[in-house]
Structure formats: C-alpha cells, structure tokens
Amino acid sequence: MERIKLAIEKAKTGGGREAGALAPPSQNARWAPPPVALAAVAPDRPVSASAQYSHTTVVDLDPAHLERNRVIAHQKTHLASWAFDVLRTQVLQKMDENGWRTIAITSPSLESGKTLVSINLAMSIAQQSQRTALLVDFDLRRPSVAGVLRLVQPVSLNEVLTGDVDVGMAMVNPGIEHLVVLPTNRGMSRAAELLSSPKVSNLIGELRQRYDDRIVLFDLPPVLVADDVMAVLPHIDCVLMVVGNGVSSKAEVEEAMNRVGKANLIGVVLNKDVAPAQQDYY
C-alpha cells in the first residue's frame, strides 16, 4: 500500500492531473464495499447473441469461461461486480467533467491485471443505457483481449492496420448490449511506430467520433516494456493506471508515472490487494 500511496501523491501534484485509489478485485482478493451510495442495479444482461447489430458480427460467449477468467462485470448478481461499477462511476464522472471520450488502460509492468480491468470496466460502462462502450486491444506486442473472452474471429485489428479491411469488419459484439470489441489476433512488429503513425491517429479519431454516446477504452501494453504507451497517449484523452499489489516495485511505479508524463492521469487502480472484508468474492 505504501508504494501506491506514493504513486497517487505523485500523480496528484503533477501538472494538474488527478488520481484516486480505485480497487477492483483480483483472483485472491477480499473486499469490503467502500462508504458510497450505490444505485439499485439492473438485472443481469445475458451473454447471448440476442442483441441486434446490422453491421457488426455478434457472437456467443461462454459464461463458464468468463467466470474462470474473472470476467464478471456483466453479472449484476455477482458479489464482485460492485467494485467495477464504483470504478465506472468515478471514471465517467471525471471524463464527463472534461469532455473526454477515450481512455487508455495501462500498468507499470506485466501481470498487473490491466486487461481484466479493461474488459470488466467496458462491460460495466455498457450497462448504462445512455452509454455505449468500445474496447480496443492496442497491446500490439502481446494482445490478450480475444483470448480472455475466447473470441475466435478471422478478421481483427491486424487486418485494419495493414489496410486489408475497414474497421467495421473487425468489430465484434460479444452478445452484450451496448458493447463492441475490436480485438487483435496476433502480435505485430514495430508496434511503437504503428501506434504513433497517422493511420492510428486517424483510427482513434474515427472511433471517437462515430457515436456521441461512445466511450472508447484502449487496452495498452505496460508502460515499462517499451515506448508504445508514450507513442499513442498524445492521441488519447486520459489514462488509467493499474498497479498490481506485490507486482510493481516503488521504483517501477515512479518510473511509469514519469513516462506517462503530461498525459491526463485519471486515476490509479490498486489491483490484487488483500484486505479485511465482510464478504468473500472469490
């Protein structure tokens, strides 16, 4: 916790950025709800292909596979879903205050849980009737969104970036209303150069402007593995940092904050924490 407190204090004092300690659950975590008032939640939205999409492929997801991979934000009866709803509300309030529509999710180092936070946050945002969410796998070196969701599609962001297909052909609705995923099937070489290219800048602008109610979430690689995050952040409105408890050292958190630089740091998620709780989540 001392490492995260230091990182948050650093973010609070850096260039007008604001940060908050947000804590969604991890595999071994135990949590007690924070002292906030939560609105009554809606019934679970089924993971099925019942949603009507005329130009987007609709697929069925395996609920058991999602549960095993800790993808639970679409289940409003799941004891852990409240944490992502709180995270969603905090993130959307900050984004609305500033007119932001695009958000990057990253971490200092590997194995911090950034992809699971990205997926669950996107699902939670999609639960709001006045919002739509688009999750884009921009971890071009080590894409994992498709694997976590078990999306098996022949066309993905790979073909979009090579110019073989239009972006609409690569989008997938995972059977959850108001949610669309743009997966990446394979790792790509020269990732940083791609992410800093006019092609990606134009793509981000197109995804942002296509729908007024859309929040676009970009799952980025860890900050410290390469310069990919620094290359693409100038084109994204804000960034959410996911720090795995016991995964990133104090020096790694500080260096990640330095590399994020002048980007709009919207908050810090402390993931994989273990704290006293009144109810068991896993």
pLDDT in tens, 168-189: 999 999 988 899 999 999 999 9
Residues 47-70, mean pLDDT to the nearest whole number: 69
Q: What is the pLDDT of residue 233?
A: 95
Q: CA of 172: how far to CAs of 32, 144, 239, in Å? A: 35, 15, 24
Is residue 1 pLDDT above 60, yes or no?
no
Domain chopping of the chain, boundaries: 2-31+61-280
Is residue 30 pLDDT above 90, yes or no?
no
**61/90: higher pLDDT:** 90
Is residue 200 pLDDT above 90, yes or no?
yes
Closest CA to 178 of 51, 90, 71: 51
Beta strand segments in 84-184, E = 102-106, 132-137, 172-173, 179-182
Q: What is the pLDDT of residue 68?
A: 85
Residues 222-246, mean pLDDT to the nearest whole number: 93
Element (H, E) at 31: strand 30-31
Predicted confidence band of residue 67 (pLDDT cuts 50, 70, 90): confident
Q: What is the pLDDT of residue 6?
A: 53
Return the residue matching tokens 């071994």: 28
Q: What is the pLDDT of residue 92?
A: 96
Q: What is the pLDDT of residue 113?
A: 87
The CATH class that applies to domain 2-31+61-280 reads alpha beta
- Pairing mode, if any, of strands 30-31 and 279-280? antiparallel
**244/131: higher pLDDT:** 131
DSSP 233: G
Q: What is the pLDDT of residue 56?
A: 78
Residues 73-98, mean pLDDT to the nearest whole number: 87
Highest-confidence range of 8-17, 229-238, 239-248, by mean pLDDT?
229-238
**10/63: higher pLDDT:** 63
Q: What b/e readout covers 100-113, taking b as 16+ CB neighbours within 10 angstroms? A: bbbbbbbbbbeebb
Q: pLDDT by residue (tens digit) across 96-135?
A: 999 999 999 999 988 888 999 999 999 999 998 889 999 9
User: Considering the entire predicted model, what is its pTM?
Assistant: 0.79
Residues 34-43, mean pLDDT to the nearest whole number: 31
Range name among 66-70, 249-253, 262-266 with the lowest pLDDT average: 66-70
